[in-house]
Amino acid sequence: MLGIDIGGTGSRAAVEPLDGAFGEGRVLIDGPPVSVSGDGSSALSVARELIERARGAAAGHAAGAGTGSGAGAGDAPGATAPRIAAVAIGATGLASLVANPVTSIAALSDAAGGAPVALAIDALTAHLGALGGAPGAVVAVGTGAIALGTDLREIWRRVGGWGHLYDDRGSAAWIGIEGLKAAIMAHDGLDRGASALLSAAESRFGPAPTWPGQLYTRDDRGAVLAGFAADVSGLAELGDAVSVRIMSTAGTLVAETLVAALDPALPRRAAGVGGVFASGKAFTEAFRAAFARLAPDASLVTPAGAPLDGSVRLARLVAIGGVREGHPPFLWR
């Protein structure tokens, strides 16, 4: 079976045998990030590329290649690729930036040798990865930020994930934007306290007057902004006051998003996943404090797995007939 996770700063696929224990014999394949242009999102093109690469990597899996990069995994002499039983794809922007996801399922199935395909928003695969199929709410925070509260049957409550232009509060792109806003204020002499951020931004992007030309014209603008979040979080870890404020605010905003996804009909169980949770204590401490204040009766649990794990879980369900119908705009079959 094949699980795929597609995000704003990169994508990954996992191939593993249907008849083994979860995660056993997994082959990992890295892929490109999503880009967004006037034609919409490239998510489904990325998915097709990863499916084609995964079919080659499956031969190496059958020959006992084990885990590792997919590069060259299908080169084992005499290896025969097993049939892919099911494919599940979790992708950012699927509900908002892809006109009609269901129309692409047939082509993706053909690329997978006729295997059944499920498409899901990234919040759903993050939920399946973090809570393992149990009801509750999960927030996924990477380039963007989106939360989903669901029991995977009747209750589907989405909060956030509307893009970095006016949402994705607390995400890596949001952090990058806030860092650049502070940096340009330092450049213009409006905030001398942000001089460290100005220096970091100039090191990454060059002179401030060139920033609009570099950023406004890019299809991968969200990913570029998210890249600067690493500089902001690094400065926060060093004690830079403006950076600490940005990271702390990000943590609070993410907690607000997660709490808003806790539908009253759901168990008071929640989790957070995504790369921003590894960005340092300013973010995580603010996140936990805000969650405890806003939802004192809820439990914040340690995630059982990552969004890619959720995609693999969904692929397994599809393979055994556990997902026969879609649930747009969260899941398409």
Average pLDDT, the chain: 91
pLDDT class for 161, splitting at 50, 70, 90? very high
- Return the percent helix, strand and coil in the chain, to nearest 5: 45, 15, 35
Indicate the SS3 state at residue 27.
strand
Size of the chain in residues: 333
Q: Which string of DSSP letters, residue by residue, matches 85-120?
A: --EEEEETTHHHHSS-GGGGHHHHHHHTTT--EEEE
Q: 4-51 pLDDT, tens per residue?
A: 999 888 999 999 998 877 878 889 999 998 888 887 889 999 999 999
Sign of CA dihedral 160, 163, 167, 169: positive
pTM score of the predicted model: 0.89
What pLDDT band is residue 75 in, cutting at 50, 70 and 90? very low
137, with CB counted inside 10 A (0-12, 13-18, 19+), is buried
Structure confidence at residue 25 (pLDDT): 85
**SS3 of residue 31 by DSSP:** strand
Alpha helix stretches (DSSP H) within the chain: 43-62, 94-97, 105-111, 122-131, 172-187, 195-205, 211-215, 221-237, 241-260, 281-294, 307-319
